[in-house]
Structure 1
Amino acid sequence: MKETIHFYHTNDLHSHFENWPRIRDLLIERKQFHQDKGEAVFLFDIGDHADRWHPLTEGSKGKENIRLLNEAGYDAVTIGNNEGITFSHEDLHHLYDEAQFPVVLANLFTSEGERPHWVYPTYITSTEKGTKIGIVAVTAEYPAFYERLGWLVTPAKDELKAQVRVLKQKVDIVIFLSHLGIREDEWVAQECPEIDVIMGGHTHHTFQQGKLQNQTLLAAAGKHGAYTGKVEIDFDHQTSSVTRKSASLIETSGLKESPKEKQEIQRWMDRGKELLSTVETSLKDPLPHHPLDPDSVLSSLLADALLEWCEADCSIITGGLLLDSLSAGPVTAFDLHRILPHPINPCVVELEGSELKEVLRQAQNQDWPTTVVKGLGFRGSILGTFIYKNILSHSYTFKIGGEVIQPDKVYRVATVDMFTFGYFFPEMQRAKKEYFMPEFLRDVLKHKLKNMGAG
């Protein structure tokens, strides 16, 4: 006897709810279709469904994302870095309280080395015809960030290999939900032949027809809900073997429009705004801003706030981090979220003077302010002009606090975590760093505005 098992998977939605109504309708419809035919069907999400750039996710602390996953009928999910390191320890600990599905995750522990009660290192389910399916999942490692939040994230590949060895003895099919990225998935396909299918995410890659590597099928569905992935596996019960597996993508833009989807999308935005309606402070005067204006009042204020928050020698930000001005009058949590939606944390980087001068020279690149930035936690458009506090430059002479930078002296530089990942400044990537978590830039600005005594 042979049976065909159907799997649908999503990844890296990042709270792009504009695509969700059609994806949800598709998943509900397809699940019912297969069940009516007596076929096995499963729905998986591979992480980064929740992204705090959207007011609904921010205002509900991700709980509305879980409600949407419940509504669509998911059978298992794993977490991505947006769930793992952008929510506080307490918020992640309770994120899945109402989940109607298992959260599978093998490489996350409490700081005491215990598995959180809300995760399964592996999960076994079965079809009505008796085929046992083992699910294993790991997420990308950001140990410094997880540690600051009170979690321990272990080496993903080591944990995966250990779990797969045990799981393979118990099941017929092994599915790996991977929030590691394409290169890591390719490595796993070579090193873990026991895995039948890798459903991947994190690096936002796509496989239109899947990719077969060392007899393991790789599948991935891009980002932001542009696609839903589908995998089919044929299992032969007589030989206890997989005889066929295939992958494809379903494009969201080609799906039938969901009834009243525009109203639903707007309702999610309005609900988020309502949840963030708390008045945080009040401004007597407006705080204007333009991302390319070196004299932006709001950029200057944010750079000041970062300097004070981090107790540093100087601060470096860019105007593109702020997406808009603030008007005079009440300032709500929604207003602060609107102008600083990024899940970006403050950071102090310790640089020797020679390294700091090199960073400042690189920042003078005239092309950078208008560079379009994607990823790194950035949720704006262009980088914007560089804004400094306690830093003076004339030609290539730089001063900190009025004194010429000394090559061997160590300076504490307050900046944002995105500058420490190596894309812009290799010196910052190599340097000693201290991340401030779970606070985001909007928390730093809120603290500054309140302390100004406005209103």
Structure 2
Amino acid sequence: MKETLTILHTNDLHGHYDLAIRQAALIKKRKRDLLSQGEHVIVLDGGDHMDMSMNECLATSGTIHLDMLNATGYDAMSVGNNELLRLPKDNIRQLSHDSKVPWLLLNLEESDGSQIGGTKETLLLKVGDRLNVGLFGATDQFEDIYENKHGFRNRDTLNSIKQAVEKLRKDGANLIIFLSHMGYGADIELSKQLSGLVDVIVGAHSHTVISQPEVVENVIIVQAGSYGKYVGELRITVDIEEMKVVEHTGHLTEISMDDKCDTELSAVVEKGRVETEKYLSEVVYYSDRAITHEELVELMACSVKDFWKSDVGIMYGGAATNGLESGEITKASVLNTCKSMQAASLIELTGQQIAGLIHETFDKEITNRKVYGSGFRPQGIAIGKLQFSGVRWTEHEGKVSDILVNDETIDFTKKYTVATGSSLIYEEVCGYPSVKGNTLIDYSKEFMVKDVFMDYLKQQYTKMKSKIL
């Protein structure tokens, strides 16, 4: 006895709303057409639907995406790092509880071993009279980052998958689909260990465009690029009694801005944008002259120094894409230039390391290095020159001398507390050699650098207005 199922799949939208409303139109039309022909259809997403670097996502604390997922008609989604890493843990719990589309996650748990918020380890979908589809999701654990940031605990991914498959089979699943937010390379390796357990991997995270389904050890792997550019379609025939896929075909359909928009999702996005406009219009600062890019980055260095009450503040040029115009400066003004989602971090550096950074910021081979690290936005821009708060020096014809830290001659052997953004902590990310060997003291689990910067500007603006009054 055989049943046929079409899986419509997407992944890694990252808040590209204008393509999402076109992507949704295609998904809905294709689903209607298939259902009218008596076909079975499910719609799945591989995670990173959200992206807090997008103003609509930030302004609504991610809630716009819950409405989008529901309006598009998804049956389930995996949980990506942008759902997990860029939100406070209480927000993660609340959003996963509030979502009408199940969030699937089996390789992370609360510190007490319970499931995180409203996430589910597994989901069983009954499709038609005979087909029972078992689903589960897993995410890239980024080593121990979620344990350190949120206090969550990693579960062994492979063992968790095996237990999930066993449970789903006992519950009657005759088809197993893994929603993976682990990346193409990890999917390939896992497939070798999941043959006979998992039928299909709907991939994500690596933004891989898999034009035709790949098969590794009898496991079918699909992934639909990123940013709403594609909708994947996988049609499979399942032998119900043998509980295996006996036939499959698949392809990607490319989405363009010329495609038709879905009216329901357009209304959701427009509602979110109205809310976003109100959020972004808040004035946080006033300047009677334009602020240059270097001045802006230096202000950011001041803001993290003030946040951590540290000896020194250092910020890299890539933390902002340009300066700010004169006049009232709104949240929109700041967020449109400060895209990166870097955590406000506190590290310890010796005076020798700080001096090294000063010398290195004049090295164009370092400052022109393009960065693709986690949370760095826009991806692929240069790390840029460093700006310092609490540090002064004399520079003549490329030679640096007379370095002062808070008006005292620098002590090369002393350890100083340094506030910065998380990209600067890692030499392999930022490319500044002198950070090697730094000691991480703390980093904000709640606030990104741009949040700290906006709060700092508001504080300065309040002081400015009080002086006038």
Please give the TM-score of this superposition, normalised by the length of structure 1.
0.88
CA contact (8 A) 1:336 1:446 kept: yes
Report the counterpart of residue 337 of structure 1 in structure 2. Answer: 335
In the alignment, which residue of structure 2 is the partner of 1:187? 189
Check 1:248–1:403 CA distance in 2 against 1; reply closer, same or farther (3 A cut). farther
Instruction: Give the match's secondary structure for 2:346.
Output: strand
| Aligned amino acid, residue 51 of structure 1 | D
Is 1:454 aligned to 2:455, yes or no? no
Match of 1:53 in 2: 53
Query: Paired residue for 1:76?
Result: 76
Q: CA deviation at 1:269?
A: 7.6
Deviations 1:334-357 (A, max 9, x none): 333223233221112334556656
2:373–2:429 CA contact under 8 A, matched in 1 = no
Q: Per the alignment, in what secondary structure is the counterpart of residue 258 of structure 1? A: coil
Count of aligned pairs: 449
Partner of 1:217: 220
Whether contact under 8 Å (1:2, 1:236) holds in the other structure is yes
Contact 1:352–1:410 under 8 Å retained in 2: yes
Report the CA distance between 1:430 and its aligned residue: 6.3
Q: Partner amino acid for 1:160?
A: I
Q: How far did 1:327 drift?
A: 4.1
1:146/1:52 CA distance change after superposition, 3 Å: farther
The separation in 2 between residues aligned to 1:297 and 1:396, in whole angstroms, is: 20
Offset, 1:16 = 0.8
Q: Does 1:417 align with 2:422?
A: yes
Amino acid at match of 1:52: M
User: How far is the alpha carbon of 1:220 from its aligned partner?
Assistant: 1.1
Residue 4 of structure 1 aligns with which residue? 4
Following the alignment from structure 1 to structure 2, what is the Cα–Cα distance between the partners of residues 348 and 108? 27
Q: Is the 8 A contact 1:141 1:156 kept in 2?
A: no
Aligned to 1:151: 152
Give me the CA root mean square deviation. Answer: 3.0
1:389-429 per-residue CA deviation (whole Å, 9 max, x = no partner) reads 3345664779461444535x444332212234532347757
In 1, the alpha carbon distance for the partners of 2:263 and 2:166 equals: 48
Please tell me the residue identity of whatever aligns with 2:178: F
Q: 1:307 aligns with which of 305, 308, 328?
A: 305
Provide the secondary structure at the position in 2 that maps to 1:225. coil
CA contact under 8 A between 2:291 and 2:326: conserved in structure 1? no
Moved more, 200-209 or 279-288: 279-288
Please say which of residues 327-336 and 9-18 is displaced more in the overlay. 327-336
Segment of structure 1 superposing worse, 214-223 or 358-367:
358-367
User: Structure 1 130/334 Cα, relative in aligned 2: closer, same or farther at 3 Å?
Assistant: same
Question: How far apart are residue 76 of structure 1 and its match?
Answer: 0.3
Matched residue SS, 2:458: helix
- Does the CA contact (< 8 Å) of 1:56 and 1:275 recur in 2? no
Partner of 1:198: 201
- For 2:268 and 2:321, the matched residues in 1 are separated by 22
Separation in 2, partners of 1:285, 1:154 = 54
Can you list the C-alpha shifts for 1:114-135, whole angstroms capped at 9, x where unaligned?
A: 2134111111112213122111
User: In the aligned structure 2, how far is the partner of 1:96 from the partner of 1:117?
Assistant: 6
Report the 3-state secondary structure (helix = DSSP H, G, I; strand = E; otherwise coil) of the residue aligned with 2:56: helix
State, as a whole percentage, how many aligned pairs show the same letter. Answer: 24
Residue 32 (structure 2) aligns with: 32
* One-letter identity of the residue aligned with 1:184: A
Partner of 2:449: 441
- Structure 1 distance, partners of 2:252, 2:102, is 24
Q: Closer, same or farther in 2 for the Cα pair 1:385/1:432, shift >3 Å? A: closer
Residue 391 of structure 1 contacts residue 398 of structure 1 at CA under 8 Å; is this kept in 2?
no
SS in 2 for 1:86: coil
- Give yes or no for contact 1:306–1:444 (8 Å, CA) kept in 2: yes
Letter in 1 for 2:421: V
Please give the alpha-carbon distance, in whole angstroms, between the structure 2 residues aligned to 1:125 and 1:429: 50
Q: Distance in 2 between matches of 1:206 and 1:198?
A: 14
- Map 1:11-410 onto structure 2 (within 5 A): 11-142=11-142, 143-145=144-146, 147-170=148-171, 171-193=173-195, 194-253=197-256, 256-258=259-261, 267=270, 270-277=273-280, 279-290=282-293, 296-352=294-350, 363-380=361-378, 381-391=381-391, 395=399, 399=403, 401=405, 402-404=408-410, 406=412, 409-410=414-415
Deviation string, structure 1 residues 189-234 (Cα, Å, up to 9, x no partner): 1122211111111121221112211111111111111112222221
TM-score, with normalisation over the residues of structure 2?
Answer: 0.85
Aligned-partner residue type, residue 406 of structure 1: F
Check 1:41–1:262 CA distance in 2 against 1; reply closer, same or farther (3 A cut). closer
Distance 2:328 2:161 in 1: 50
Aligned partners of 2:130 and 2:95: how far apart in 1? Answer: 32
Residues 163-185 of structure 1, C-alpha deviation per residue, up to 9 Å, x if partnerless?
23443444211111111112211
- Consecutive unaligned residues in structure 2, runs of 5 or more: none
Change (3 A) 1:432 1:140: farther
**Contact 1:46–1:79 (Cα < 8 Å) also in 2:** yes
Aligned partners of 1:228, 1:310: CA distance in 2, in Å? 45
SS of residue matched to 1:83: helix
Give CA-to-partner distance per residue, 1:321-371, whole Å, 9 cap, x none: 223434454443333322323322111233455665665565543134444
Alpha-carbon spacing, 1:122–1:229, altered in 2? closer, same or farther (3 Å): same
| Consecutive unaligned residues in structure 1, runs of 5 or more | 291-295
1:353·1:405 contact (CA, 8 Å) conserved in 2?
yes
**Matched position secondary structure for 1:253:** coil
More displaced 10-residue stretch of structure 1: 26-35 or 357-366: 357-366
Letter in 1 for 2:214: K
Shift of 1:58: 1.1
Question: Which whole-Å CA distance do the structure 2 matches of 1:398 and 1:200 have between them?
Answer: 55
Distance in 2 between residues matched to 1:255 and 1:36, nearest whole Å? 26
**Distance in 2 between the 1:203 and 1:429 partners?**
28
